[in-house]
Chains A and B, each alone.
Chain A
Amino acid sequence: MTLAAATDLAAATNEHLANLSNTLIYSAMAVYTLAFFAYITEWIFGSRSKIGRTAAALTEGADGKAKGPAVTVKKGGSTAVLERPKVVVRAAAGQRDVPDGPGAHGGDEQGDLYGRIAVSLTVLAFLIELAGVIARAASVERAPWGNMYEFNITFSTVAVGVYLTLLALRKNVRWLGLFLITSVLLDLGIAVTVLYTASDQLVPALHSYWLYIHVSTAILCGAVFYVGAVSTILYLFKDSYENKLANGGRPGSFATSFLERLPASASLDKFSYRVNAAVFPLWTFTIIAGAIWAGDAWGRYWGWDPKETWAFITWVAYACYLHARATAGWKGRKAAYLALLAFGCWLFNYYGVNIFVSGKHSYAGV
C-alpha cells in the first residue's frame, strides 16, 4: 500500500512537471514569435539602405581580381599589429571576388538594433525552451526523445543552440536568424498540435545507453545539417543573382535588396561546406552507434530496417556531396543540389519513415 502511495505521489509530481514543460514550450513559442517579428523588422529597416556591393564588384572593371578583398590577420590585439606585414588573400580560381553583404540590417542603425533585440529574444526563447525540454525529461525520468513530440522539441532547441553557439564564436551568421526561427516555429507548431504525446515510458527495447548516444548525436547532426541546408539554399539564390549581374542582367528590386545583404555566394558555399563536413564524421558515428545498439537489442547490427536504410542513404548522399566537392566539374551549384538532396534524405528519415513506413523503429507515437 505504501508503495502504491509513493507511486501515486511520484506520478503526481511527474504530471506537475509535464504540465510545467508544456507551459514552458508554449512560452518559448511566444518569445520565438517576438524574435521572429524583430528579425522581420531588422530586414525591413535594412531595406532602406542601398548597398549594391555585389553589383559594384561584378560590374566595375574587367579585372575584378586586382580589386579583390584582402585580409589582415590580427594577432591577439597586440600593438605590433600595424607594423607587421599584411597578408593578402586572393579568391580561389573560378570564384568571383565579391564582398560579403552587411547582414539583414544592411548597415541601417535601427535595423541593427532590431537585429540585436531579435538575437536577445532568441537567447531568451532558447533558455525557456531548454527548460521546457529539461522539465519534460524530468517528468518522464529519461532522455527527452522517446517519441516524435519530444524529438521535435529537442531538435529545435538544439538547432537554435547551434546557431547561438556559432554567434557566440563570432561567426558571421546572424543572417540565418530569420530562416531558422521561422522553421523553429513551424517545427514547434507541428510538435504541439499534431505530434503531442503525453509523457510516457519507453518500451524495454529503447532502454540502452547506446540509445542516448545514438539519438542525441542524431539530433545534433540533424540540427547542423539543417543549418547547412539553409545556407545552401541561400547560396543557390545568391549565386544566381551574382550570375545574373555578371551577365549584365538586372535582378528585381526585392531580390536585390534581399540578396545584397547576404554574404557573397562563395562565402555561403564555403560556410555550408564547412558545416556539413564538420558533422559528417559525427553522422558516421551516429549510424555506427545505432548499429551497436541494434546489435544489442535485436541480435543483428544491420538489418536494412527502413530507418537504418535511410540513415545509410543519407550518409551515402552526404558522402556524394563531399566527393563532388573534390571532383572538378561538380563543385558549386551541382554540389549544392547534392547537399540539399542529402538533407532531404535526412528529413525523410526523420518524418517520412516514422509516418509512412513501418519498421522496428516505430516509436513515433503519432
Chain B
Amino acid sequence: MSTTSKTGSDPAPATGDEDLGAASSQLSTAPVEDAPNLPSLGVIGWVRWFWRQLTSMRVALLLLLLLSLGAIPGSLIPQSGTDETKVADFRNANPTLGDVYDKLGLFHVYSSVWFSAIYILLFVSLIGCIVPRTWQFVGQLRGRPPGAPKRLTRLPAYTTWRTEAEPEQVREAALTLLKKRRFRAHLAGDNVAAEKGYLREVGNLAFHIALIVMLIAFAWGQLFKMEGNKLVVEGDGFSNTLTQYDDFKSGTLFTQDELDPFSFTLNKFQGTYETSGPNRGTARTFQADVSYSVGAYGKDKRTIIKVNKPMAIGDSKVYLTAHGYAPVITVRDGKGKVVYRDAVPLLPLDNNITSSGVIKVMDGYRNTKGVREQLGFEAFFLPTYTTGSETASTFPALNNPVLNLAGYYGDLGVDAGIPQSVYQLDKSHLKEFKDSKGEQQRENLKPGETMKLPGGAGSITYESTAEWANFQVTRQPASDWALTGSIVAIFGLAGSLFIQRRRVWVRAVKGADGVTVVEMAGLGRSESAKVPEELGDLAGILYDQAPGAPEADEDPTDTPEPHVVPAEGHEK
C-alpha cells in the first residue's frame, strides 16, 4: 500500500499501486507535496515555483511555527501599546538594549514589520490555498466517486463472502443500502462506488475562510478604533466630543466624525467591599448610576454601568474602569467670601484608596492686604482613618474619612502656558502657610470641619465627600465580524476534525464456480477505527440480503489470514 491513501495526494506516486492511487485520489483537497526541485523556466517559472512553495502545506506549517515563535517576545518585553511607562522604565534601565529593541520593533511586536510580514505571508498563502481547493472541491461534488480498485484486498478495511444471490441483485441492494445511509453512491461496472463525509471538506474550507474574515475584521478594528478616558465626579456630566476627554487614542484611519453623539451624567457611584475575612477590603461591586441621552435631542434615560457591563451606545461602549474620592472643598478669603467651591478628585495610591491630590485656587482670592494671590493646597485623604495608621487608609469605604491639608500661597505658575498636572503643585513660586511654631500648617479635617489659615488669610472647609468614576469610551468597529468569523471557525473546525470522509466499494462478480463473490472495502482519509466498524456494519446488513453460500475449497490466495483481535474501541 502506498502512502497515498494517507495523504490523499493526487495523482498517485509510482509505487506500483496504481489502482489504489486512483481509488484514494481526491479524497481531500489538500495540496500535493512535491519536492522543491528548482525550476529552469526563467522568470515566470520562478514566479510559479515561488507561488507553489508559498501555497504548499510545508510552508504553511513553517509560517505557522514562525507566527507562534514571533508572538513570544511581545509577551516578555514590555509593549508600548499596553504599558508605555514600563517601556520607558525598561529603556532607562537598559539604554543600549533598549536601542536594539527599538530597531527590531520589539517594543511593539504585534505591529512590527517582521511580525506583519509573517502573518501577511501566511494569509496570502492561505488565500492561495483556499481558492484552488474550493474549485477542486466543487469539481469533486460534480463528479462521482471513483470506481473500485482492482484489488480490494489491499485497502485498509476489507471483507468478502460468497453468496447464492445474483451479482446484479447484490449490487442493487448495496446501492440502495449505501444511498439510504446517505452515501453518494453509483454503479461503476462490476462494483458500487460510494463516498460520504463531504462536510469534512466544507468544514475545513469554512474554517480557513473564517480565519481570513477574522483577520480582516481585526485589522479593520485596529485601524478605526478609538479609546478615550474621562473622569467624572458624581453630579457632573460628559458629552462625547474630543475636547472633553482627559486622554484619547485612535487608530490611524479614525476621524472625529465617527464619535457617536451622546452624553451622560454620573448620578451616583457605589462601591461595596468585603468587610471581614482574609480578603477584607476586596471590592465586591462597583456600579455607576448614570442618566444618558443619545443625539442632540435624545430623551434622558437611566442605567447602571458595572465593571463587566458597559453601556453600549451606537458602536461605542462606555466602561467603568476606576473610581476614587472627590472631597467637596470650600475656600474663603479673609473676609469670609467664598472664592472656591468644588469637588476635587484625588488619585488613589493603594487598594484602600489612600488618595492624594491638590486644590488650586486660581483667581478670586485676595490676601489680607487686598492683593491678588493664588492658593494651593496639598491634600492627602484616608477614607478610613484609624489611629495608629495615620498615613494609610485601612479600608476602602468611607468609614472614617479624614482629609489632611497643607496650604501654600503665591503664584501657581498656571499662567505660564505650560500644561500642568491637575494632581501636582509647582511650588517654585509658592510659600508655605506657617503655624505659630514656624512650621508648615498641616491639619486633619473631618467632613464639615474647617481649617483656618494663619494671620486671618481665610479658611478652607472640607464639606463632604463625593465619589468619582473613570469611564473609558471605546469604539471597535467590525467586532461583530470577528465574532461571526470565530463562530464559523469553531463549527468549521469541528466538522473538519470530527467528520470522516470515506469511501466504500462493493464488488459482486460470478466466481469461476458460478457462485457470486461479494467483496467490500473501505478507505478513510484519516486514521479512524470508524471505517472498519462502519464497513462491518454495512457488510452485516448486506449479508442478510445476500446470505452466505458454502465455502469453496480455499480462500482466495490474496486474502490475508484473519488473525482475529477485537476491534479498536471495543477493547476490554
When each residue 29-50 of chain B gets 1 if its CB lies under 8 Å from chain A and 0 otherwise, what string results? 0100100000000000000000
* CB of A310 to closest CB in B, whole Å: 6
Listed by A's residue number, 30 A-B pairs whose Cβ atoms lie within 8 Å are A7-B275, A65-B560, A67-B561, A73-B532, A73-B536, A75-B537, A84-B536, A92-B1, A92-B6, A92-B156, A93-B5, A170-B571, A198-B279, A200-B274, A201-B279, A203-B282, A203-B283, A204-B286, A288-B483, A288-B490, A293-B308, A301-B479, A304-B79, A309-B74, A313-B71, A320-B61, A323-B57, A323-B64, A328-B7, A328-B33
**Contact with A71, one of B285, B286, B566 (Cβ below 8 angstroms):** B566
Residues of B within 8 A of A316 (CB): 64, 67-68, 71
Find out whether the CB atom of B572 lies under 8 angstroms from the CB atom of A84: no
A-B contact count (CB 8 A): 251
**Contact with A172, one of B4, B9, B571 (Cβ below 8 angstroms):** B571
Find out whether the CB atom of B64 lies under 8 angstroms from the CB atom of A320: yes
Find out whether the CB atom of B282 lies under 8 angstroms from the CB atom of A201: yes
Interface of B is mostly: mixed
The 7 closest A-B pairs by CB, nearest first: A73-B536, A200-B279, A316-B68, A204-B307, A172-B571, A309-B75, A299-B474
A62 within 8 A of B: no
When each residue 289-318 of chain A gets 1 if its CB lies under 8 Å from chain B and 0 otherwise, what string results? 001110111111111111001101100110
B262 within 8 A of A: no
**Contact with A329, one of B58, B309, B565 (Cβ below 8 angstroms):** B58
The stretch from B157-165, B410-418, B427-435, B447-455 touching chain A is B157-165
Find out whether the CB atom of B497 lies under 8 angstroms from the CB atom of A309: no
**Contact with A326, one of B1, B57, B72, B560 (Cβ below 8 angstroms):** B57
Find out whether the CB atom of B68 lies under 8 angstroms from the CB atom of A317: yes
A16 within 8 A of B: no
Residues of A within 8 A of B307 (CB): 204-205, 207, 297
Find out whether the CB atom of B61 lies under 8 angstroms from the CB atom of A277: no
Find out whether the CB atom of A94 lies under 8 angstroms from the CB atom of B559: no
* CB of A112 to closest CB in B, whole Å: 11
Tier of interface size on chain A: 35 or more
Tier of interface size on chain B: 35 or more
Residues of A within 8 A of B33 (CB): 327-329
Q: A83-B548, A85-B548, A295-B476 are in contact. List 12 more A-B contacts (CB 8 A).
A: A8-B276, A66-B560, A93-B4, A270-B527, A274-B527, A278-B497, A296-B308, A297-B307, A300-B227, A301-B476, A304-B110, A312-B68
Residues of B within 8 A of A328 (CB): 3, 7, 9, 33
Find out whether the CB atom of A90 lies under 8 angstroms from the CB atom of B1: yes
Residues of A within 8 A of B105 (CB): none
A124 within 8 A of B: no
* CB of B559 to closest CB in A, whole Å: 7
Please name the residue on chain A nearest to B59 by beta carbon: A327
A229 within 8 A of B: no
A199 within 8 A of B: yes
B220 within 8 A of A: no
- Docked pose: A71 CA to B218 CA in angstroms: 50
Please name the residue on chain B nearest to A269 by beta carbon: B527
* CB of B562 to closest CB in A, whole Å: 4
B514 within 8 A of A: no
Q: Which of A7, A72, A331 has the most CB of B within 10 A?
A: A72
A68 within 8 A of B: yes
B277 within 8 A of A: yes
* CB within 8 Å of B: which A58-100 residues: 65-75, 80, 83-90, 92-94, 99
B190 within 8 A of A: no
Please name the residue on chain A nearest to B15 by beta carbon: A93
- Docked pose: A93 CA to B527 CA in angstroms: 11
Find out whether the CB atom of A11 lies under 8 angstroms from the CB atom of B537: no
A56 within 8 A of B: no
- Docked pose: A353 CA to B74 CA in angstroms: 13
- Docked pose: A274 CA to B529 CA in angstroms: 11
The stretch from A26-34, A253-261, A279-287 touching chain B is A279-287
- Docked pose: A11 CA to B497 CA in angstroms: 48
Find out whether the CB atom of B490 lies under 8 angstroms from the CB atom of A357: no
Find out whether the CB atom of A305 lies under 8 angstroms from the CB atom of B82: yes
Residues of A within 8 A of B161 (CB): 85
B91 within 8 A of A: no
- Docked pose: A92 CA to B531 CA in angstroms: 12
A70/B276 contact (C-beta < 8 A), A75-B536, A87-B539, A327-B58 known: no
B268 within 8 A of A: no
